[in-house]
Amino acid sequence: MADNYAEWKGRMAELDSVIAKMGGKVLVIRKLDGIAEFENKLILNPPRNGEVAPELDDYFDRLSTKLFGITRDDTRFKFPDSFHSLIEGTEEWWQIQSSADQHERHFVTDDSADDEAVSTLLILGVDFRDERGDPLRCTKLFGRQVTAAVMKIAGLLPDADAVELKSLESKLEKEAQLHLARRGKKNGTGASRQDAVSNGHDSSCSLLKDG
């Protein structure tokens, strides 16, 4: 994390303000399908040395492909099959190695702390913070995929507007369900009271008839 957590929070607030003034659209990762579940899995199986735990490999690749169209491995430089048979230091070897080094320079979040990675990715238009404003556990696991998509190297990003609309629809649906539940409970109570009154009225009539 940054030397001072409060300072980092302040810098993020400044970034938010600049983006808002520019009218920039931001993709909020925590709102994507599957992220909340993945975050919970990472609590039990945290990343090891920057890599996803082996028991989550398949799940991680499926989620990455679903969200960004690529896996993390898909973002890595593809060395030609002949590279490993080349003599190190030769012109051909250097040309390929230089291309690989240039490719990897795009992915600065690999060597960043979580908070620094969040700042970098927010500048690219992608928000990797949770509801409290802290870095998501999956930030660096998805950092390469997001960078590759933004740089148009590989993959793609979900549409920010579509994500916001879906999030809003989900929120409205939950609020509607709660409203209906409360209304149903209220109506149920009212019906019980009405039934009780009706039953009491019927009983009174019956007694009058009997009398």
**39 CA to centre of own chain:** 9
pLDDT of residue 182: 65
pLDDT of residue 173: 52
pLDDT of residue 166: 56
pLDDT of residue 11: 94
pLDDT of residue 50: 86
pLDDT of residue 178: 60
pLDDT of residue 7: 93
Q: Is 105 helix (H, G, I), strand (E, B) or coil?
A: coil
Nearest alpha-carbon partner for 154 in 74, 61, 77, 210: 74
Rounded Cα–Cα distance for residues 97 and 40 (Å) = 39
pLDDT of residue 17: 94
Locate the DSSP E strands across 29-130.
Answer: 126-127
Which pLDDT tens digits describe the chain residue by residue (211 residues)? 556 899 999 999 999 999 999 988 899 999 999 999 999 999 999 998 889 999 999 999 999 999 999 999 999 999 999 999 999 999 999 999 999 999 999 999 999 999 999 999 999 999 999 999 999 999 999 999 999 999 999 999 998 766 665 544 445 455 546 646 665 665 654 444 444 434 444 443 343 344 4
pLDDT of residue 165: 52
pLDDT of residue 86: 96
- Those residues whose C-beta lies under 8 Å from the C-beta of residue 194, and which sit 6 or more positions away, are none
Token pair in block for residue 46: 């945290």
